[in-house]
Amino acid sequence: MKIIKKYKWFILGFFILLAIIAVWLGKDLLLNIDGALYGHRLEGIEDVPITNETKKEISDFLSSTEGVEKVKIYVHGKILNIIIWVDDTMTVDKVKEISNAALEKCSEEQKSFYDISFLIDYAKETEDKKFPMIGNKNKNSKQIVW
């Protein structure tokens, strides 16, 4: 008991130092903060880029279609999101047709590398219940699933 009383500050300092070292090692060894946001899932994305020209070509094609009000295209990692706002004259079959035609603006390499999503909604509030509608094409599939 005398030894503990005599060295209590030394023992306390030792345990505090040990706790600091444990936290430091745990942070460095267990937390991978310096890595890429998507890990290794984006390997090869430099080889199959979706350029601004490709996005503009798709956007111009869709915007020139009758019934399409506005188009926005976003690329997030390996996902290409195409958001289309349509007017109330647009039909579901017409939307599927123009989406398939827009898909043809991408190269075969892009279609087999990226997941492509089509999100369709009305540009204005309406009572019609045809839209919103979502279609997805997985990199392994050949067609859009609605």
Q: Do residue 80 and residue 121 come from a single domain?
A: yes
Q: Do residue 25 and residue 76 come from a single domain?
A: no
d(CA 21, CA 90): 65
7 located within any domain: yes
* Total domain count, the chain: 2
Q: Do residue 60 and residue 103 come from a single domain?
A: yes
d(CA 92, CA 106): 22
Q: Can you give the pLDDT at residue 93?
A: 92
What average pLDDT does range 63-83 have in this prediction? 93
Per-residue pLDDT tens for 97-121? Answer: 999 999 999 999 999 999 999 999 9
Q: Read off the pTM.
A: 0.71
Strand 79-86 and strand 115-122: the pairing is: parallel
Paired residues of 132 in beta bridges: none
Q: Can you give the pLDDT at residue 25?
A: 85
Q: Do residue 68 and residue 121 come from a single domain?
A: yes
145 located within any domain: no
The CATH number given to whatever domain includes residue 130 is: 3.30.300.30
Q: Do residue 27 and residue 62 come from a single domain?
A: no
The amino acid at residue 108 is E
Per-residue pLDDT tens for 125-137? Answer: 877 777 789 999 9
Q: Do residue 65 and residue 117 come from a single domain?
A: yes
Q: Do residue 57 and residue 30 come from a single domain?
A: no
Range of the domain at 112: 52-137
